[in-house]
Every structure is written in structure tokens, then in C-alpha cells.
A = this chain, B = another copy of it.
Amino acid sequence: MEGFLLKQTVISEFCLTRRVQFYETDAAGIVHFSVFFRYMEEAEHAMWRAAGLNIAHQDAQVGFPRVAAGFEFFKPLRFPDEFEVHLQITRKSTKSLSYSATIVKNGQTAARGTLSVACVSSCPGKPMRGISIPSEIADCFEVATTEGTKA
């Protein structure tokens, strides 16, 4: 697996480009605030794929439930706006990861969010139990040192 290791990229930030879908809007004519949390998670999962990982593999022994999430909303998104989700890793501990997300439309910040996830052992039907992030996952990520991608 030396070849894999040579190619491996340590990731600390990711940018997802996305278009608002009609079913994501509400009767106020704007994207429903709960959907921004889906955008943030969509960017997280794309970042994991960019690292060669599947955050929710069907046969995985570990899972990554969300332990906290928040957003501040500055400007609405509307159908069919195009926007970016700038995701950065802001904290990495033995058992958890934290991200910040900036939603940008036409160069303007529409919303800013945070997300923290914990690593748990994944046994169907049993209570979740916090465990250390396996090294083959932890080694793929590091905390972002620059704020350059934030709008």
C-alpha cells in the first residue's frame, strides 16, 4: 500500500459548488434554513470522498454522528441560485472533528456555520459509544491554517 500512501493527500479544506433546487425553497421564496445544514454536510461528505473516504460506509465499524451544528444567516438563497460551500477543518481531537462552513453567493457571504462530529463504534441496535478516530481516517485530515478561502 506504499503507493497509496505516496498519493495520499492530507485535506484541511474543501469547496463545493452547488445549485439551489426548487424543493429546497419554502413559501417565503427562499431556501429553508434547515437545508443549509444539509449543504454543510454535503460538503463534508464530498471532502471525505476527496480524501478517498466514505463517511458512512454500509459495513463500517465506526460512525460519525453529529454532536453540534449551528448557522448564522445573512442573505437568503433562492431558486435557482448557484453558490459555494467553503468548508474548513477547525479542530481535530482524538475522538472528534469540527468544521466551519461559509456559504457564498456571487462573492458575498450568505451564511456561516459550524459542525462537530464524534467517532463512535457502529453496532446496529446498540447504544453509540465514543471511540478514537481510526488512524487511516485521522491521518487524512488536518486543521486548516489559512482563512484564505473564506469569503
Which A residues fall within an 8 A CB radius of B?
21-23, 25-30, 32-35, 37-38, 41-42, 45, 49, 54-56, 58-59, 63, 65-73, 76, 78-80, 122, 124-125, 128
Contact = CB atoms under 8 A, between A and B. Distances in A.
Number of identical monomers bound together in the oligomeric complex: 4
A113 to B, nearest CB: 9
* Of listed A42, A66, A76, residue having the most chain B CB within 10 A: A66
B28 A56 contact: yes
Contact of A72 (B27, B35, B45, B67): B67
B28 A65 contact: yes
27 contacts: A22-B32, A22-B41, A22-B45, A22-B55, A23-B32, A23-B34, A23-B38, A23-B41, A25-B27, A26-B27, A27-B27, A27-B29, A27-B30, A27-B79, A28-B56, A28-B65, A30-B65, A33-B37, A33-B66, A34-B34, A34-B37, A45-B80, A54-B80, A58-B78, A58-B125, A68-B71, A70-B70
B23 A26 contact: yes
Nearest to A118: B73
Contacts of A59: 125
A63 to B, nearest CB: 6
Contacts of A122: 28
A27 to B, nearest CB: 4
A55 to B, nearest CB: 8
Contacts of A27: 22, 25-27, 29-30, 56, 58, 78-79
